């Protein structure tokens, strides 16, 4: 029996992978309003807050509508706050991660197909990133109408990248997104820092010569 072919392409998440931690940024925002854990709690445990996030990331409501709804949920939890500019305040501590950005460039230089699969958040979350030049394919949740961890998001990203799921590795900072990717056949790396992700990808991926010999 021949061993199954190793994957040769990579999909990267955006927030918390190409940038510094989203969780730390949202916690810092919470600290600035006197409630460090509240912003993430609303998005993960408050039913109305969770629904707002799903609708926004899926493109059903826009930037301003999310801000208005999220400000209302903060007020319901005792924090009076203006809606306008809320997303920018939540993302204020997020910065590009140059080491992961360099990893993306290195993988492409090896001849690999490299794509982005991101759950969008606000109108300006990708500002400062030339995604079209960084990646072979870019898949944004609001543009396709479905978000991770939906299986359709991973399949759409693979289709745009021109690879089958079993030929592809997903890099994401959230374990449940990696678990969901595995259910449709992608290998996965839970991102903690660029060095560890680089090492894990080196162990998972086919040698560069094999990647460059496959059709795009």
Higher pLDDT, 189 or 215: 189
pLDDT digits (tens, 9 = 90+) for 125-135: 999 999 999 99
CB 49 within 8 A of CB 70: yes
CATH T-level topology, domain 9-20+95-212: Rossmann fold (3.40.50)
From residue 182, alpha-carbon distances to 5, 151, 169 in Å are 16, 10, 9
Beta carbons within 10 angstroms of residue 28's beta carbon = 17
CB 85 within 8 A of CB 49: no
Mean of all residue pLDDT scores within the chain: 95
pLDDT digits (tens, 9 = 90+) for 179-200: 999 999 999 999 999 999 999 9
Q: Which helix (H) or strand (E) covers residue 11, if one does?
A: strand 9-12
pLDDT digits (tens, 9 = 90+) for 5-19: 899 999 999 999 999
pLDDT digits (tens, 9 = 90+) for 24-50: 999 999 999 999 999 999 999 999 999
211 falls in which pLDDT band (50, 70, 90)? low
Query: What length is written for the chain?
Result: 216
In a 13 Å sphere around the CA of 145, the CA atoms on its Cβ side amount to 0
Q: What is the mean pLDDT of residues 52-74?
A: 98
From residue 174, alpha-carbon distances to 10, 69, 115 in Å are 16, 24, 17
**CATH 3.40.50.1000 boundaries in the chain:** 9-20+95-212
Cα(192)–Cα(199) distance, rounded to whole angstroms? 12
Using CA of residue 92, residue 21, residue 19, residue 87, what is the dihedral sign?
Answer: negative
């Amino acid at each position: 029996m021949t061993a199954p072919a190793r994957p040769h392409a990579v999909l990267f998440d955006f927030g918390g992978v190409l940038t510094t931690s989203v969780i730390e940024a949202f916690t810092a925002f919470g600290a600035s309003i006197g409630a460090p854990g509240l912003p993430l709690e609303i998005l993960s445990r408050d039913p109305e807050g969770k629904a707002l996030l799903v609708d926004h990331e899926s493109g059903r409501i826009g930037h301003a509508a999310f801000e208005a709804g999220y400000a209302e949920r903060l007020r319901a939890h005792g924090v009076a706050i203006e809606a306008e500019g809320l997303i920018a305040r939540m993302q204020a501590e997020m910065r590009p991660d140059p080491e992961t950005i360099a990893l993306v460039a290195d993988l492409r230089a090896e001849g690999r197909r490299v794509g982005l699969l991101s759950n969008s958040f606000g109108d300006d979350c990708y500002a400062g990133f030339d995604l079209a030049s960084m990646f072979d394919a870019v898949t944004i949740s609001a543009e396709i109408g479905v978000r991770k961890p939906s299986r359709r998001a991973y399949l759409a990203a693979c289709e745009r990248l021109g690879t089958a799921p079993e030929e592809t590795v997903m890099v994401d900072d959230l374990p449940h997104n990696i678990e969901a990717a595995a259910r449709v056949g992608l290998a996965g790396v839970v991102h903690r820092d660029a060095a560890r992700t680089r090492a894990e990808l080196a162990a998972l991926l086919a040698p560069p010569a094999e990647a460059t010999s496959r059709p795009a």
